[in-house]
Amino acid sequence: MFALFADAALPAVDTTAAASSGHMSSLIVVGLFFLALLVIAAWGMTKTKNVDDFFLAGRSLGPWILAISYGAAYFSAVVFIGFAGTYGWQCSFKSLWVGVGNAVLGGLLAWLVLGKRTRKMTRRLGASTMPEFFLARYGSNFMKFAGALAIFVFLLPYSAGVFAGLTYLFKETINVDGKTMLTIITAITGVYLVVGGYKAAARIDFLQGAIMFVGAIAMVFFVWKFFAADNGGYIGAVEKASALFKERSANPTAPVLEGGLGGKPVPGWLFWSVVFMSSASTWGMPQMVQKYYAIKDEKQIVKGSIVCFAFAMIVGVAAYSIGAFSHLLPLDQIQGLLNDKGVPDVNQLVPVVLIKSMPSWLLAIVLILVLSASMSTLCSLTLASASALSVDFFKGYVAKNAKEKTYLLVFRLSCAFFVVGSYLIALFQPSWIVALTALTWGVVAGGFIAPYVYGLFWKGTTKAGAIAGMITGFLVSNGLYWYLFFGVNPGTAKMYSPVVASLAMVVPFAVVPIVSAISPKLSEERVKKAFEDAPEA
């Protein structure tokens, strides 16, 4: 839901010889990076023989690759730039708690609580997607169909938002037209996914994650060093940025930046809903949950959780700290960050901080960092959405007895269809993309999280209870958001979207046990199949 800055435009960067040299070096680095992706994709194609290989890498990935793939899919350009800028400006260094929450709740605890159970139960039930899990666990064709439909409908604009948000930073830093860059990124993402599948994508995620990890540390060091020079050292820079935030928070004439939450400091209850929403949603988002399906050995869950926690902590905290330092930019420069409406735009803060503080060679690495984060997210979104078309709809309803090669071809075509669809939405950027993207986490995570978690741990969950939980999540997220959007105003809907998403995830946890207590129980055979240990495949 974080692609809220896709229409922004960066201020012009000077066109001196040094800037041109920087553009060229960045372009070369990006070109070499793309070449490496294609080589890995070609390798992946030689290792992909069936749908299980293509989608879950044969369920044979080790903890390092899978944990970093999970972390890389967690973050994208919108987190590094848009979200970090918004909350860095409006919450100062308090925004680091978003990164901490992502690492602890969205990374460490998600792996420890869900990883082992998910892997074991999905193997017993023969499920490779969340809609298949709902069918096998509860015997509900409705949940399978509604879940697959929600995945495709809501992950498509989310993916488009990531595509669109990624391009405008590249437009200024490597001096390439935004639409041209969007086309190149789409083509590369599509090729390495369609050709190599998840065997290639997971290893590409590992490469991208390593770049993100090292780049995030370097990014913070250089930004901090840049501002420390004029603000009394490293500690002085933090203290001055915090003091400026407090001063502007109390000053009614301070700059009001569009793209954030109305230009005002974020109330505590609203801020903590952001922490909860962005962290707990990984427990119900299919592109994150399906990572557990692919792990090689249950014994590797703890190791994977530690790797994921460390990765998310470094990357998340780094992103939000950059946003907090934006208060140290000169006031006239902040007021000069105008969007196409002539209003200072909060989403341009982090790109400007990076351009001002980084040498050209390091800026090229940071570009790869942002690109890596976004392409990993796009890869996970594409595989999850394509599985809804190929596995849940085609294999589940259209051609149940087709050959494996046919399923694999349909999966590849579904990936291509999803990538092209996301590209077209991002290219034309219709006015509803922001609103629909903001719904994504609330609708999908809200509808899935309670039936999924109860399904893993509580034998008493009934079919009616699970359906009620899914419908409740869908209704709360859609009902509240669109009431605010049309009944109040779009700005209010945007401001309270984290609260809406959080409620959509929490309320179903109360609904599922209530309905389960008064509805018919599942058969003993179905429950036994889900919970009793079975020999490892």
CATH of the domain at 324: 1.20.1730.10
Q: Which residue has the higher pLDDT, 241 or 397?
A: 241
Please write the tens of the pLDDT for every residue from 463-494: 999 999 999 999 999 888 888 878 887 777 77
- In this prediction, residue 7 carries a pLDDT of 34
The confidence band for 517, taking pLDDT boundaries of 50, 70 and 90, is very high
Q: What is the DSSP letter of 486?
A: I
Give ∠ CA 18-19-21 in degrees, rounded to 5: 65
Confidence check: pLDDT of 38 > 90: no
Q: Give which of 400, 467, 130, 171 is closest to 292, Cα–Cα.
A: 130
- In this prediction, residue 404 carries a pLDDT of 67
124 is a domain residue: yes
Q: Is 338 in a helix, a strand, or coil?
A: strand
d(CA 505, CA 443): 9
pTM of the model: 0.80
5 is a domain residue: no
- In this prediction, residue 397 carries a pLDDT of 65
Confidence check: pLDDT of 449 > 90: yes
Q: What is the mean pLDDT of residues 458-462?
A: 95
477 is a domain residue: yes
- In this prediction, residue 505 carries a pLDDT of 95
Q: Which domain holds residue 482?
A: 17-531
Q: What is the DSSP letter of 174?
A: S
Q: What is the mean pLDDT of residues 95-111?
A: 92
**181 within 8 A of 170, measured Cβ to Cβ:** yes
- In this prediction, residue 17 carries a pLDDT of 43
**CA pseudo-torsion sign 152, 153, 157, 158:** negative
CA distances for 157 relative to 145, 246, 386, 420, angstroms:
19, 36, 14, 12
The confidence band for 71, taking pLDDT boundaries of 50, 70 and 90, is confident
Confidence check: pLDDT of 502 > 80: yes
The confidence band for 287, taking pLDDT boundaries of 50, 70 and 90, is confident
d(CA 51, CA 405): 8
Confidence check: pLDDT of 88 > 80: yes
Question: In this structure, what token pair is assigned to residue 231?
Answer: 């603000």
The confidence band for 220, taking pLDDT boundaries of 50, 70 and 90, is confident
Lowest mean pLDDT among 208-212, 426-430, 487-491: 426-430
Q: Which residue has the higher pLDDT, 390 or 151?
A: 151
- In this prediction, residue 452 carries a pLDDT of 96
d(CA 382, CA 387): 8
Lowest mean pLDDT among 335-339, 438-442, 479-483: 335-339
Average pLDDT over the chain reads 76
Q: What is the mean pLDDT of residues 63-78?
A: 71
Q: Is 61 in a helix, a strand, or coil?
A: strand
Q: Is 129 in a helix, a strand, or coil?
A: coil
The confidence band for 15, taking pLDDT boundaries of 50, 70 and 90, is very low
Q: Which residue has the higher pLDDT, 373 or 182?
A: 182
Confidence check: pLDDT of 137 > 90: yes
Alpha-helix residue ranges (DSSP H) falling in 174-267: 178-228, 233-249
Confidence check: pLDDT of 326 > 80: yes
Count of domains forming the chain:
1
1 is a domain residue: no
How many residues in the chain?
A: 537
Question: In this structure, what token pair is assigned to residue 175?
Answer: 């001096």
Q: Give which of 284, 500, 304, 376 is closest to 80, Cα–Cα.
A: 376
**500 within 8 A of 481, measured Cβ to Cβ:** yes
- For residue 315, the Cα-to-chain-centroid distance in whole angstroms is 13
CA distances for 21 relative to 15, 16, 30, 152, 170, angstroms:
10, 9, 14, 42, 15
Question: In this structure, what token pair is assigned to residue 177?
Answer: 């037209």
149 is a domain residue: yes
Lowest mean pLDDT among 163-172, 204-213, 238-247, 258-267: 258-267
Cα pseudo-dihedral 440, 446, 451, 452, rounded to 10:
50
405 is a domain residue: yes
2 is a domain residue: no
Question: In this structure, what token pair is assigned to residue 390?
Answer: 């190929």
Q: Is 10 in a helix, a strand, or coil?
A: coil
Lowest mean pLDDT among 4-18, 66-80, 387-401, 433-447: 4-18
275 is a domain residue: yes
Q: Which residue has the higher pLDDT, 400 or 433?
A: 400
